[in-house]
Structure 1
Amino acid sequence: MKRYLVASLLSSQFLLFNAAAQSSSQIIEDSIKSCVLNTTRRYTVYLPESYSQSGNRKYPVLYLLHGHSHRNNDWAKDGHLQKTADQHMTSGNSAEMIIITPDAGSIRNGYFNTTGWSYETFFFEEFIPYVETRYRVSRDKFSRAIAGFSMGGGGAVAYALKYPDMFASVYAMSALMSLPKQGRPSTKDDESIEFGRSVLANDCIALVSYADSTSLDKLREIKWFVDCGDEDFLLDVNTEFYKEMRKAGIPCELRVRDGNHDWKYWRSSLSIALPFISDSFRK
C-alpha cells in the first residue's frame, strides 16, 4: 500500500511538472523569405504561457525593434525578454501578448528604404501580413504596438508617425529620432553616409513639425512614451522630439532616468514598456 501511495505521488508530481513544462512561455527563432528584399530575414518570437493551451484565442502583438549593429535575437539574449515578459504577464502587470523582434540587417542597413534595401516596404507589405497569418494575433490597430531602442526606437517612432492607423502605442527607448550633431555621417564612410541619410530623411521631429491637421488628429489617438537616460548621447534629440509633440498638442510621456546608452538601461525600459503598452490594447 505504501509503495502504491509513493508511486502515485511521484506520478502526480511528474504530471504536474510535465504540465508546467508544457505551459511555459516560448522563445522561437524563425525566418521569412522576402520577395521585396530578395533575401531571407530571421526574426524572434515570444509566445506567452497560455498560447499552447488556447487553440482559438488571438493575442495582441508588440513589434520590438533592435538597435544599430544589433540583431533580432539580442532582445532575447541581452535584453532578458522572456524573463521580463514572464514576470509582468504572470503577475498581471501586463496583458499576455505575442512579441516579435525582426532583423533589420547589418550595420549598413536599417528600418527605412534605402538603395537596394526596401525594409520599410518589407515590414508593412510582407512582414506584418506574414505574422498575422502564421501566429494567432489580432489584426486591428488597437491590438498592435511598436517599440525599440536606439535605431529601433527611431524606427518605431517614425513608423507610427507615418502609419498612425497601424499602432495603438509606441515606446521609444534612447531613440535615434534624428542624427545628433556628433553623429552626422562622415564623408569617408559610404555606409555611414547611406545610413545617415535614411535617418535624416525620416527625421521624427520634422515628421511631427510638418504633419497636417488630419495627421495630427490620428497621432493623438496613439499612446506615446519617450524614455532616455540622462547620460545618453541621444538625450537632446529625444527631448527635442518631446517638445515638438507638446507643441503639436499630441499627448506624450517623457521619462529621463539615471542611465546611459546600454543594455542595463534598455532592460529596465522593457519593464516600464510592457505595462504601458498593455494599457493601450483594446480590452
Structure 2
Amino acid sequence: MKKYIKLFYLSLTFLICISVSAQTGRPQSKIITDSIYSEILDAYRTYNIFLPQSYEMDKDKKYPILYLLHGVMDTNQGWTTRGHLKDVMDQLIASGEADEMIIVTPNAGGNIYAGEWNGYFNMPGWAYEDFFFKEFLVYIEKNYRVKGDKQNRAIAGLSMGGGGSTSYAQKHPDMFCAVYAMSALMNIPNVGGLPPQNPDDKMAILNKSVIENSCIKFIEEASDETKEMLRTVKWFVDCGDDDFLLDRNIEFIQAMHKADIPFQFRVRDGGHTWEYWHSALYISLPFISRTFSK
C-alpha cells in the first residue's frame, strides 16, 4: 500500500509541475533525436539525448551525464518509447529523488536478423567500442554542456547494454563513477537468449564478442592494480528472479565478492521485460544521482 501511495504522490507532483510550467511558459525537459557520422563505422549513428528543464534556462550551467545503453534488437528509441525515460526523470527531479543530469542513449542495434549490426564491442566489420570512446563520447561532451570528468560521468544499460556498460567501466574505471547493470549479459547464458541462424551470421559474431569480453572472466583474471581501480567505481547489479540471465549475474557477483570489490545487488520479482527495466529506472537514476559529485 505504501508503494502505491508513493507512486500516487510522485505522479501528482509531476502533474503539478507540468501545469505550473504550462502556465508560466517556462521551458520543460526534452528528449532530442540526432545523429553523428562515424568515420570508424563509415555510417551515421543516431542517438537520443535527455536535456533537463534548466538546460535552456541557464546557458552557463554544466551537467553530469549518464550513458544509458539499450539491449539487443533495440535502438536508441527504446528507453524513450518503452522505458518512458522522460516521464520517470521528470518525476524524480520534481520529488527531489534525483538531480538534473543529461542522459544519452546511442544506437548500437536494430533487427539483427535483417542484417543490422548489434553490440558494444569491436567485431570484424563493426568497431563499435572504438566508435563509442573515440568519436561518440567525445562528440557528446564537446557539443553539450557536460562536466566531463569521472565523478560526473556514469553508465548503465539493460541486457546487452547491461553487459556493455559493465565491460566499458571495467576497461575504463578512470572514466566512470558508477555503473547500473540491469538484467546484464555478463556472458552468454547456458539457455535462453537469441540463437544464431547460422555459424557465421551477425548474431553468432555478437555472441562470440560477448564471450571474448566476458565481464565475469575480466574480474577473475584482474590484477591487483586493476581491482584497486575497480574499487573506485560504484557498482549496482539488478536482475529479476525469473530472468534467464540471473545465473550469469550471480556468477559475476560471486567473482566481485571474491575480488573484494564492493557492490550492490538486487534480485527483484520479474523477468527479462520492459516492465522490469522501467521499474529499475526508479532505483537506478536516484542511485546514479547520489553518486555524482555535488
Instruction: Please say whether Structure 1 and Structure 2 have the same fold, judged by a TM-score greater than 0.5.
Output: yes
Judge conservation of contact 1:208–1:244 (CA < 8 Å) in 2: yes
CA contact (8 A) 2:183 2:239 kept: yes
How many angstroms apart in 2 are the aligned matches of 1:187 and 1:132? 39
Counterpart contact for 2:21–2:27, Cα < 8 Å: no
Equivalent position amino acid for 2:279 in 1: S
Between the two proteins, what is the percent identity of the paired residues? 52
Which residue does the alignment assign to 1:201? 212
Matched with 1:123 is 132
1:15-56 deviation line (CA, Å, top 9, x unaligned): x76674442101100100100110000000000111110101
SS in 1 for 2:141: helix
Query: Deviation of residue 193 (structure 1)?
Result: 1.5
SS in 2 for 1:128: helix
Question: Matched residue of 2:100: which SS?
Answer: coil
* Counterpart residue type for residue 139 of structure 2: Y
Question: Is the contact between residue 37 and residue 117 of structure 1 (CA under 8 Å) also seen in structure 2?
Answer: yes
Give the Cα–Cα distance (whole angstroms) in 1 for the partners of residues 182 and 247 of structure 2.
13
Structure 2 stretches lacking a partner, 5+ long: 1-19
Q: Which residue of 2 aligns with 1:61?
A: 65
CA contact (8 A) 1:142 1:281 kept: yes
Q: Which residue of 2 aligns with 1:104?
A: 108
* 1:261 has 2:272 as partner: yes
Residues 1:160 and 1:20: Cα distance change in structure 2 (over 3 Å): farther
1:141 aligns with 2:150: yes
- Would the alpha carbon gap of residues 96 and 161 (structure 1) be closer, same or farther in structure 2, given more than 3 Å must change? same
Q: Does 1:71 align with 2:81?
A: no
Q: Distance in 1 between matches of 2:145 and 2:24?
A: 22
CA deviation vs aligned residue, 1:176-234 (integer Å, no higher than 9, x gap): 00001125955724222101100001100001111111111110010000000000000
Counterpart residue number, 1:211 = 222
Separation in 2 of the partners of 1:173 and 1:81? 15
Number of positions where the alignment pairs a residue of Structure 1 with one of Structure 2? 268
Aligned mates of 1:93, 1:193 — CA distance in 2: 41
Contact 1:144 1:166 in 2 (8 A): yes
In our comparison, the structure showing a higher alpha carbon Rg is 1
CA pair 58-176 structure 1, distance change in 2 beyond 3 A: same
> Is it true that 1:180 corresponds to 2:189 in the alignment?
yes
1:202-241 → structure 2 map (5 Å cutoff): 202-241=213-252
Aligned residue type for 1:111: Y
Amino acid at match of 2:198: K
d(CA) in 2 for partners of 1:171, 1:24: 26
Runs of 4+ in 1 over 6 A off after TM superposition: none
Partner of 1:47: 51
Q: What is the CA RMSD across the aligned residues, in angstroms?
A: 1.4
The alignment partner of 1:181 has SS state of coil
- TM-score for both structures, normalised by structure 2: 0.88
CA distance change for structure 1 residues 227 and 19 in 2, over 3 Å: closer, same or farther? Answer: same
The alpha-carbon deviation at position 90 of structure 1 amounts to 1.5
Tell me the secondary structure at the aligned position of residue 211 of structure 2: helix
- Unpaired segments ≥5 residues, structure 1: 1-15
Contact 1:184 1:196 in 2 (8 A): no
